[in-house]
Amino acid sequence: MKFFAVIAALATAAFAQNITIISPSSGTSVHAGEQLTVAVAKPNSQTTSQEIVLLISVVQCATEGCADTFDASAGAVGQILYNGPYDPQYLAAAVDAPYENFPVTMPSDLSPGDQIALIATHLSLVGTGTYTNLQNTYVALNVVSD
């Protein structure tokens, strides 16, 4: 029984460290080559954590769209737009979690009509025993013409 309690505690701690993409929202229209600000939030947690890296990337979804074909947990990375430190802060009163803004440029080879997954991949060390937490999350974006 103690084993299951430990596993449940570790899972709870890892879940509390999860990030979300708060901007742009899913369904946003973007243009090839456009500069876009990506806001990534990480809710507060009572568990300590040390941020290691954040990747922001894009991958084209299949013709059925991202919701039906893209699995963020599979570890797909695609074309990397940002690779570096992550240090979320309270930047605006309207957002109830620390977050950080990242200016990125959409790839110039995107075609109008494509649906892409904007992916945030987050690696951190969690807890006093320090174990790794790797998370992928995404929002689906629509590529439009000028």
Q: What is the domain partition of the chain in residue ranges?
A: 2-143
Confidence band, pLDDT 50/70/90 cuts, at residue 32: very high
CA-only gyration radius of the chain, Å? 16
β-partners of residue 100 are 40
Q: Within the chain, what is the greatest distance between any pair of CA atoms?
A: 60
pTM for this model (two decimals): 0.83
Query: What CATH class is the domain 2-143?
Result: mainly beta
List pLDDT tens digits, range 44-57: 877 888 899 999 99
